[in-house]
Amino acid sequence: MRIVLLGAPGSGKGTQTDAIIQRYGVVTVATGDLLRAEVAADTALGQRAKPFMEAGELVPFDIVLGMIENGLQALARTHPKGFMMDGFPRDLAQAEALDKLLAKINQPLDVVLFFEVRYEEIVKRLLGRGRADDNEETIHNRLRVYEEKTAPLIDYYTRKGLLRTIKGTGSIEEIGERIRAVLDEIA
């Protein structure tokens, strides 16, 4: 199964990935985690990405696409049960690039899970988490960037018939059940 997790920062995508991996045997590709690992290792890529991440801006297209291209081609070979993208695509250019890449390796998406959560709830969650980019100013910029660049993907994937909306409030278990209901139907 090939899944994209779509939703604002703090909508709970990362929190649900372990349960999805365990149940469906997919592997996860989380661009935020990949980028944070590059920053922590102080690589050239990490040094380029860091100021964008600290400001809550999207990291430039070429950096992210390079990471995804290398990763996905290898994953398609090593993980026949499929993959789940968390944090990618994040704008229309990335979505179109992903479509092209997946068409090339003959692995089209099966579903896009859109986590719907109100912004007031998100700000509360992120201020309580305390990651390096979870300060008030950066959170508001991340939400602004999400609204402007990522939210148009809701329409993009709706038009492709791939979008399924998951109500992202309630307990982690309740949200997990909503996700299972959708994915069991597709699997």
Amino acid at 101: L
For 116, the enclosing helix (H) or strand (E) is strand 111-116
Tokens in use for 54?
Answer: 């600290």
Torsion (CA) 97, 41, 59, 16 in degrees, nearest 10: 70
Omega before 60 cis (within 30°)? no
Q: Active-site positions?
A: 13, 90, 129, 131, 142
And the tokens for 103?
């068409």
Percent helix, percent strand, percent coil in the chain, to nearest 5: 60, 15, 25
- Give 41: exposed, middle or buried? Use CB within 10 Å, 0-12, 13-18, 19+: exposed
Told to check if 28 binds ligand AP5 by CB under 6 A, we report no
Distance of closest approach, residue 34 Cβ to ligand AP5, in angstroms: 8
Site for ligand AP5 in 87-126 (CB under 6 A): 87-88, 90, 94, 125
Segment interacting with ligand AP5, rule: CB under 6 A, options 57-65, 69-77, 101-109, 179-187: 57-65
Q: Which of 20, 29, 56, 162 binds ligand AP5 (CB under 6 A)?
A: 56
Give the binding range for ligand AP5 (CB under 6 A) out of 7-15, 37-45, 96-104, 153-161.
7-15
Judged by CB, which is closer to ligand AP5: 12, or 82? 12
Minimum separation from the CB atom of position 148 to ligand AP5 (A): 13
Write the DSSP symbol of residue 147: I
CB of 168 to ligand AP5, least distance (A): 7
Q: In whole angstroms, what is the distance from residue 88 CA to residue 83 CA?
A: 12
**For ligand AP5, which stretch binds (CB under 6 A), given 8-16, 73-81, 97-105, 153-161?**
8-16
Residues of this chain that bind ligand AP5 (CB under 6 A): 7, 9-15, 31-32, 35, 52-53, 56-59, 64, 87-88, 90, 94, 125, 129, 142, 172, 175
